[in-house]
Amino acid sequence: MTPRLVLQARGIVKHYGHVTALDGADFELRAGEILGLIGDNGAGKSTLIKALSGALVPDRGEIFVDGARVQFRTPSDARRAGIETLYQELAVAPALSIVENLFMGRELRRPGFLGNALRVLDKRRMLEESTAYMKELGIGIQSMKQAVENLSGGQRQGVAVARSAAFARHVVIMDEPTAALGVKEGNLVLDLIRRVRDRGLSVVLISHNMPHVFEVADRIHVARLGRRVAVLDPKRVTMSDAVAVMTGAMNPEQLPA
């Protein structure tokens, strides 16, 4: 029996002027898995992710969510389809509080006249929900009202991961969530990613950090020159073979199936 695909792409093409960023890329994400996405610089990882998350519109190709064809024009379209994306470096507004970052773009309003007519925010409910949720994910933070810029790098990334996971219904795409973090903080985020999967979501993890990818990924999608060249099983393929495939030094057919 083939596993259910929550997110799928076929033959995605994207040109930037004369540069071909994606040259017929395919993509398959199964329900409840962590899919590692690796590739050298310029392999088209970011462009693929942007196409899947609605941040850009591909020139050609098809995208399916739960088997149904979709066309994303904006990030909001993808979000409505249950796909959340956590972008590298861009995820949080440093001067705003943790609560505000968690609810950015989908703030809760007070019930009744205050909320409907005056559009007053329900700060208390947002605070309560944030606190409960961060606790559930095991992110220990004293005050949810402090500005994100006062947090450590790992905590900050924790907020970003938590935010994308909180609102995703199907898929969370994470672009380099462990970049620029120390060993301990990196592990904290990896744990968090596992917990997100265990909540039933599918996760796409883009990373240059091979040990991190091999530690948490269930399968690994290898991108090269704008295409998908292989999907590897991290339990059966070594890290050095994966890198060899990624850089073109090894033909994927030489790998153990």
- Residue in 8, 37, 63, 87 binding other proteins, rule: CB under 8 A: 87
Question: Directed axis angle between helix 153-167 and helix 183-198, to 10°?
Answer: 10
> Is residue 32 close enough to count as binding other proteins by CB under 8 A?
no
Query: Nearest approach, Cβ of 120 to other proteins (angstroms)?
Result: 5
Q: Which is nearer to other proteins, 8 or 101 (CB)?
A: 101
Residue 253 gets which letter from DSSP?
G
> Is residue 30 close enough to count as binding other proteins by CB under 8 A?
no
- Residue in 149, 194, 238, 248 binding other proteins, rule: CB under 8 A: 149
> Is residue 75 close enough to count as binding other proteins by CB under 8 A?
yes
> Is residue 143 close enough to count as binding other proteins by CB under 8 A?
no
> Is residue 177 close enough to count as binding other proteins by CB under 8 A?
no
Tokens of 125: 């409910």
Q: Which is nearer to other proteins, 93 or 239 (CB)?
A: 93
- Residue in 19, 57, 104, 249 binding other proteins, rule: CB under 8 A: 104
> Is residue 57 close enough to count as binding other proteins by CB under 8 A?
no
> Is residue 215 close enough to count as binding other proteins by CB under 8 A?
no
CA angle 11, 86, 101 (to 5 degrees): 150
Element holding 241 (H helix, E strand): helix 239-247
- Residue in 15, 109, 125, 195 binding other proteins, rule: CB under 8 A: 109
Query: Nearest approach, Cβ of 24 to other proteins (angstroms)?
Result: 26
For 125-162, b where at least 16 C-beta lie within 10 A, e where not — what string? ebbebbeebbeebebebeebeeebeebeebbbbbbbbb
Q: Which is nearer to other proteins, 71 or 76 (CB)?
A: 76
DSSP notation for 42-81: TSSHHHHHHHHTTSS--SEEEEEETTEEE--SSHHHHHHT
Total residues contacting other proteins (rule CB under 8 A)? 27
Rounded Cα distance, 224 and 68, in Å: 27
> Is residue 92 close enough to count as binding other proteins by CB under 8 A?
yes
CA angle 204, 78, 128 (to 5 degrees): 80
Question: What are the backbone angles phi and psi of residue 155, rounded to the nearest 5°?
Answer: -65, -40
Rounded Cα distance, 168 and 71, in Å: 18
* Site for other proteins, rule CB under 8 A: 55, 75-76, 79, 85, 87, 90-96, 100, 104-107, 109, 118-121, 123, 149-150, 153
